[in-house]
Copies of this chain bind each other. A is one copy, B any other.
C-alpha cells in the first residue's frame, strides 16, 4: 500500500465516523507530520477527499471540513434515501441466502456494539450492514456515491454522538432482512428508506440547528 493510500484511508475513515467537526481546518504539513510522511501524498489524499465532498478547498486556499446547514442536512438525508433505496432494490435479485444470513449476523453485531456502549463501533457496523446489501450487486456503481453522502454527513454525526448519552436501537433492519428473504424489492426499498428517515434522518431541522449551535 502506498503512502498516499494510507493517508487517504485514514482520513476518510476519520471523517466518516465524525472525528472532525464542521469548520475544522486542516493543513497539509500538519497532517503530513501526524502521518509521518511528506506533503505530496497527503495533498493528493486531501484533493481526493474534496472530490467526494468530505473536505473543501476554500478560495483562500484553506482546507476545511464543510459546514452543514439544516437545509443542506435535509438535502443529504433525502439524497441518502433516494440513492440507498435504489441501490437496495437493485441488489435484491443478487443476494444469496447465505449473504442474507451474513447480513443478519452483522445486524446482531450492531446490537452487541450498542450494548457495549461503543458508538463508533456501532456506527461502523451499521454502515457495514448497509454496504453488504448494496454491494451484492455485481456492478455496485451507486456505492461510491452513497459513501460520498455518508462522508458529508460524518461531521454532524460526530456532533450528534457527543450529545447522545444513551444508545438505543431505532432501525428497520429486521424488516429489511425479512423483505430480502421474500425477495420483495419494494418492501426492501421501503424498509431502507424508513430506516434512514427514522434514524439520523429523524433529526428534524430544529434538532439539527440545535446541534450545530452546540458545535459552534
Contact = CB atoms under 8 A, between A and B. Distances in A.
Nearest to A85: B82
A47 B4 contact: yes
A142 B79 contact: yes
Q: Is the interface of A mostly helix, strand, loop or mixed?
A: helix
Nearest to A49: B51
Nearest to A68: B139
**How many copies of the shown chain assemble into the complex?**
2
B71 A90 contact: no
A96 interface: no
A197 interface: no
A135 interface: no
B48 A139 contact: no
Nearest to A52: B51
Interface of A: 4, 40, 43-44, 47-53, 69, 71-72, 75-76, 78-79, 82-83, 86, 90, 137-139, 141-142, 144-145, 148-149, 152
